[in-house]
Amino acid sequence: MAKKGVRTQDGKERIQKTEFGRQKTDVRMKVQMIQRNSARAFKGLIIWQKAHLFVLAVYCLTSGFPKSGLYGLTQQFCRAALSIAANIAEGFRKRTKARKARFMNIAQGSLEECRYYLILATDLGYGKMEPLIIQIEEASKLLESYSRTILDSAE
C-alpha cells in the first residue's frame, strides 16, 4: 500500500495507506525498471511482454468461439489484440518521441477496442472474461505510464 501523509487535528502528520496509490506506485516502478534497464529490443519492455501474453490469451479464448463468428468477432478481436503488441514493437525503434508516442497511442486505441470485445463476448455468453479483463487493465496502466514517460523525456 502507498503511504500518504495526512494531518490530524493535533497537527501531527499521519501516514495513510491507500490501495489506489499502491497500484499507481506499482505501475510507476515497472516503468522505472524499463527505463533503468534500457531495453535494447522491444522484447525487453514489460509492457510488450504483457501485451504479448494478452494476445496469446485472446487467441486461446477465441479458439472456443462459435465458428459462425469466425470472420466477425473472432477475427476482429485477434487483430486488435495483435495490434497492441505490434504497435509497441514498431514504436520502440522510432527515433523521435512524437513518432514513438504516436505508435503507443495507436496501441492504446487497439487496447480500448479489445476492451469492447471483452464486453461483447461476455454479453454473448462466450466464456469467462475476468482473467483477460485483469490482463487488459494492467496493460492499460503500463501503456499509459510508458506513453507519459516517452512524452516527458528529453529527445
DSSP 9: T
CATH of the domain at 125: 1.20.1440.60
How many whole angstroms separate alpha carbon 53 and alpha carbon 56? 5
- Residue 48 clears pLDDT 70, i.e. is over it: yes
Structural domain boundaries, residue 87: 41-152
Q: 10-14, 80-84, 91-95, 98-102: which has the minimum mean pLDDT?
A: 10-14
Reported as type and span, the H/E element at residue 57 is helix 46-62
With respect to residue 4, please indicate whether it lies within any of the assigned structural domains: no
Model pLDDT, residue 10: 52
Q: Give the model confidence (pLDDT) of 130-143 as tens digits.
A: 999 999 999 999 99
With respect to residue 13, please indicate whether it lies within any of the assigned structural domains: no
How large is the greatest C-alpha to C-alpha distance in the chain, in angstroms?
67
- What total of structural domains would you count in the chain? 1
With respect to residue 27, please indicate whether it lies within any of the assigned structural domains: no
- 97 vs 9: which has the higher pLDDT: 97
- Residue 16 clears pLDDT 70, i.e. is over it: no
Give me the DSSP letters along 65-126: S-GGGIIIIIHHHHHHHHHHHHHHHHHHT-SSHHHHHHHHHHHHHHHHHHHHHHHHHHHTT-
- Residue 4 clears pLDDT 50, i.e. is over it: no
With respect to residue 137, please indicate whether it lies within any of the assigned structural domains: yes
With respect to residue 135, please indicate whether it lies within any of the assigned structural domains: yes
With respect to residue 68, please indicate whether it lies within any of the assigned structural domains: yes
